[in-house]
Structure 1
Amino acid sequence: MNKILTVALGAVLAAGSASAAAADANGSFFINAGVGQAQYHVGHTDGLGYKLDDKDTAGAVRFGYAWKVGNGFDLGVEGGYADLGKLVAKYHAQNEDASIIINEKADVEASGPLLGVNGKYTFANKWFVSARAGWFRSTADASYRYEEIYADAPNYSEYASGDADGNGWYGGVGVGYNFAPNFSLGLNYDNYHGKAKTDLADIGGSIGVYTVTAEFRF
């Protein structure tokens, strides 16, 4: 995750350094990178004994081209990659004298490429609102560990891991400020609907992500 964000932010800074001129009157290329927090929407585990950590650091990098269509509106296309962090579920139980202890841990990490369209409306010369939507090819990497610890017998454990992918979609909105003709900062909310297909079932889930995003246009 850290390596992906480092490369993404480096690419944004390089693009900004190479582009000292303002965006073309008819449109411009852009590259942006965002860092923030993801929350996996998987329901509640109240009463089941599981401790759920459904929030993690997330990030995305996007690039594309946006056309100026008049009256402050821009319309564009975008491609990129999103890393949505990890969901972790843990379970712990033991009997009264702690002679038998049971531990479970399961985690899943979602990421993948995206391709979509976006729109932006600039008002008061500097402020803007934005929206985007498109295709998200999600990959879910999961692992599961189970162990039984006995005071007077050999311990038992098992471990499994795997990955699955599938076609989903994403959509989001944002607000931001243009500090220069070719540089802006924004606060965005995106919802990624990931899907994964296995031999046993089709699975899916919703992941909401808040990010602070820097964008250069050239």
Structure 2
Amino acid sequence: MNKILLAAALAVVAAAPFAAQADENNNQLDNFFVAGNLGQSNYRLGGVSDKTDVFQNVRFGWRWNGIVGAEIGYAYLGKVKNDFDFASTSAKPRVGQIGVTGKYNFYDNWFVTGHGGYLRSRTTGAVTVGDATASERSWNNGWYAGAGVGYDITRNVALGVNYDNYHIKYGRDGAQEPQTNANVATYSASVEVKF
């Protein structure tokens, strides 16, 4: 955990020079944004593949000079389920995230975006046998990263399409059951509003 927090802190420090070079005539309050994503999650977890769940994400942030900045957010990654003859297992992760973000206009109103950083996941795992269900929650650290392309509809509203990858874990190190790692790929459409 300390290594991930150190990496996130170094990323924010690396972006700080952009703030120092900000144009004093530019209203820096214009660089606050809120973005929402809606799409589909694709779990890659051992032999389980689930591509039918809804992905939702909301992020708040600020970009120095409208290009590089910091963000915080919350994501719902859907629910992965595996059915057997006599039982079923499922996992439903949610994550809080903090990281760096970037947006670059490359032609007229067209832009590319990128972001990544640290996440804290809360995953609810469940086993169902007949009508009986047992569940357990697990809190873990991980990381996320993603990229997108889009178009500025107006000065304050942008639409985009995105790919994100969330690296999450379930269980505890040293517990009787081994810790499980999973990558959750997400494909989504986004709306960003800049204030």
TM range (shorter): 0.7 to 0.9
Q: Determine if the alignment matches structure 1 residue 186 to structure 2 residue 169.
A: no
Tell whether the 8 Å contact from 1:167 to 1:196 is kept in structure 2 after alignment. Answer: no
State the partner residue of 1:104.
Answer: 87
Q: Determine if the alignment matches structure 1 residue 170 to structure 2 residue 144.
A: yes
Query: Counterparts of 1:75 and 1:158 in 2: how far apart (Å)?
Result: 50
State the partner residue of 2:61.
Answer: 64
Tell whether the 8 Å contact from 2:40 to 2:51 is kept in structure 1 after alignment. Answer: no
**Larger strand proportion of the pair:** 1
Matches for 1:147-162 after TM superposition, within 5 Å: 147=130, 159-162=133-136
For 2:133, give the aligned amino acid.
Answer: Y
TM normalised by structure 2 equals 0.79
For 1:135, give the aligned amino acid.
Answer: Y
For 2:113, give the aligned amino acid.
Answer: S
Secondary structure (helix, strand or coil) at the match of 2:31 reads strand
State the partner residue of 1:75.
Answer: 68
The Cα of 1:142 is off from its aligned counterpart by 1.0
Give % identity: 34
For 2:164, give the aligned amino acid.
Answer: D
Count of residues paired in the alignment: 166
Secondary structure (helix, strand or coil) at the match of 1:212 reads strand
Query: Counterparts of 1:35 and 1:41 in 2: how far apart (Å)?
Result: 19
Query: Counterparts of 1:111 and 1:84 in 2: how far apart (Å)?
Result: 6
For 1:190, give the aligned amino acid.
Answer: D
Q: Which runs of 4+ in 1 moved over 6 A?
A: none
Q: Determine if the alignment matches structure 1 residue 212 to structure 2 residue 185.
A: no
What RMSD, in angstroms, separates the aligned Cα atoms of the two structures? 1.8
TM normalised by structure 1 equals 0.71
Map Cα deviations across residues 169-218 of structure 1 (whole Å, 9 max, x no partner): 00000000001111100001000001234333322210000111100001
Map Cα deviations across residues 118-171 of structure 1 (whole Å, 9 max, x no partner): 111102220001111101101110110124xxxxxxxxx753211101000000
For 1:77, give the aligned amino acid.
Answer: A
Query: Counterparts of 1:37 and 1:54 in 2: how far apart (Å)?
Result: 7
Computing the radius of gyration over CA atoms, which structure comes out larger, 1 or 2? 1
Secondary structure (helix, strand or coil) at the match of 1:166 reads strand
Matches for 1:108-147 after TM superposition, within 5 Å: 108-147=91-130
The Cα of 1:54 is off from its aligned counterpart by 4.4
Query: Do the aligned partners of residues 179 and 54 (structure 1) sit closer, same or farther apart at CA in structure 2, a change above 3 Å counting?
Result: closer
State the partner residue of 1:36.
Answer: 39
What are structure 1's unaligned runs of at least 5 residues? 1-23, 46-51, 93-102, 148-156
The Cα of 1:25 is off from its aligned counterpart by 4.8
